[in-house]
Amino acid sequence: MKNSEYEGVPDEELIRRLRGGETGIEDFLLEKYKKTVRSLARELYLAGGDREDLLQEGMLGLFKAIRDYNPDENASFRTYAGLLISRQMYTAVVSASRQKHRPLNSSISISELQDNRKDAELGAADSPENILIDFENARNLRDEINQALSRMEREVLEFYLDGMDYHEIAGRMNRTPKSIDNALQRIRGKVQEIVIRKGP
């Protein structure tokens, strides 16, 4: 079966097939959720993470989700994957921030992970309880960030997370690019303070 033939098949069914030994599904899911990883990495980049390192950490979180997800016990795969991706990148950002933004040195490439799937350091699958706790923590973090931002900064952040650069945001908001750049710098500082304060 070609990867294109997996389109439209529920993720949970694909995971069941993967567990049954069907090949090609893992690569399909990694490719399918790359956009999610990029979007989450863009958000956490504001907190001080290195974008390339965050993308690598996000792909590691995605790989763990594919490896550990249990369609009979966990929430939807999309929710589960989003939480593991966010947790992996969030932990990396906090670690990097506490080391004064030195480059992340604990990243593991997907190829290395595939060569060492049973490495004991990767830990066991997350329980539904832990997933719910992570979901609540992520929601609380977003709420705290929203409260710290002005109305204008919240609007700029939403456009930024949608993938716009500061010139596009300036055009959309009828402001100067410099004012948008300044707003993004203020947002970065506020987000960074909150992430460091809350810790992992």
Inside any domain, residue 9: no
Owning domain of residue 93: 33-198
The separation between CA 58 and the C-alpha centre of its own chain, rounded to angstroms, equals 5
pLDDT class of 10 with cuts at 50, 70, 90:
very high
Inside any domain, residue 25: no
The separation between CA 18 and the C-alpha centre of its own chain, rounded to angstroms, equals 23
Inside any domain, residue 27: no
What global pTM score does this model have?
0.57
Q: Domain count of the chain?
A: 1
Rounded to an integer, what distance in angstroms lies between the CA atom of residue 198 and that of residue 16? Answer: 37
For residue 168, pLDDT over 70 is answered with: yes
b (16+ CB within 10 A) / e for 139-157: eebeeebeebbeeebeebb
pLDDT tens-digit profile of 25-81? 999 999 999 888 888 787 766 666 667 788 888 898 899 899 888 888 767 899 888
Are the beta carbons of 53 and 95 closer than 8 angstroms? no
Rounded to an integer, what distance in angstroms lies between the CA atom of residue 29 and that of residue 83? Answer: 16
**Short-list 123, 13, 43, 133, CA closest to 83:** 133
Inside any domain, residue 160: yes
Inside any domain, residue 145: yes
Inside any domain, residue 154: yes
Inside any domain, residue 121: yes
Are the beta carbons of 195 and 51 closer than 8 angstroms? no
Locate 150 and state its tokens.
Answer: 């002005």
